[in-house]
Amino acid sequence: MKMYYILRFMLLGIIFCLNISLNYSVESFASLTCATPNQRIDINALIQKWNEDSVVLNDKVSTYATYKGTKTKQTYRLDNERPTADKFAKFRIQSGAETYGDVLIKPGTNFGKRKIRNAFVTSVRDCKIVTLKSCKTHPQFIIYHSIEMCSFVVKVALILLACLTKQSWGWSYGKDKVRGVNIGSWLVLEKWMTPKPFEGLPDSVNDEYKLCQHLGKAGALQTLRAHWDTWVTEADFASFKSAGLNHVRLPIGYWALDIKNGEPWVAGSWDYVVKAAGWAKKYGLQLMVDLHGAPGSQNGNDHSGKSGPIGFYYSDENLQRATNVIGKIAKWANAPEWRDTVSIVQLLNEPVLWGNDYNYRLTRLKQYIRMAYDEVRKYNDIIVVAVHDAFIDPSNWYYLRDDSHYYWIMLDMHLYQVFGDQWGKMTCQQHYSHPCTYHEKLRESNAKLWTVVGEWSLALPNELQCNDQKYFAQQQIGSYEVATGYFFWAHNNQQGWKHWSFNHSYKEGWIRPSSTNTAQCGVNWAGRKWATECDFKGNDLSSAKVRGEDCGGKCAATQSCTHFTWTDWTQDGQGPGTCWMKKGNISPNDAIISSQPNIVCGYL
Known catalytic membership, residue 350? yes
Distance CA 293, CA 510 (A): 31
Per the residue annotation, which of 27, 190, 455, 533 is the catalytic one? 455
Question: At 529, is the secondary structure helix, strand, or coil?
Answer: strand
Per the residue annotation, which of 350, 375, 481, 533 is the catalytic one? 350
Question: At 104, is the secondary structure helix, strand, or coil?
Answer: strand
Phi and psi at 59, nearest 5°, equal -75, 160
C-alpha 202, offset from chain centre: 41
Distance CA 21, CA 60 (A): 28
Distance CA 413, CA 489 (A): 13
Question: At 272, is the secondary structure helix, strand, or coil?
Answer: helix
Structural contact between residues 467 and 553, judged by C-beta atoms closer than 8 angstroms: no
Structural contact between residues 399 and 389, judged by C-beta atoms closer than 8 angstroms: no
Distance CA 278, CA 498 (A): 28
Distance CA 389, CA 488 (A): 17
Residue 206 CB neighbours (<10 A): 18
Structural contact between residues 286 and 171, judged by C-beta atoms closer than 8 angstroms: yes
What does the DSSP 8-state code read for residue 237?
H
Structural contact between residues 135 and 110, judged by C-beta atoms closer than 8 angstroms: yes
Distance CA 277, CA 342 (A): 7
User: CA–CA distance from 172 to each of 120, 137, 230, 248 (Å)?
Assistant: 24, 9, 33, 16
E-strand stretches of 108-256: 129-130, 141-144, 160-162, 178-182, 247-253
HSE, side-chain direction, 13 A CA sphere, residue 429: 1
Distance CA 269, CA 281 (A): 19
Element (H, E) at 33: strand 30-33
Known catalytic membership, residue 455? yes
HSE, side-chain direction, 13 A CA sphere, residue 299: 16
What does the DSSP 8-state code read for residue 250?
E
What are the strands of the beta sheet with 60-67, ordered from one edge?
60-67, 70-81, 90-95, 98-105, 141-144, 129-130
Where in the sequence numbering do the catalytic residues fall? 350, 455
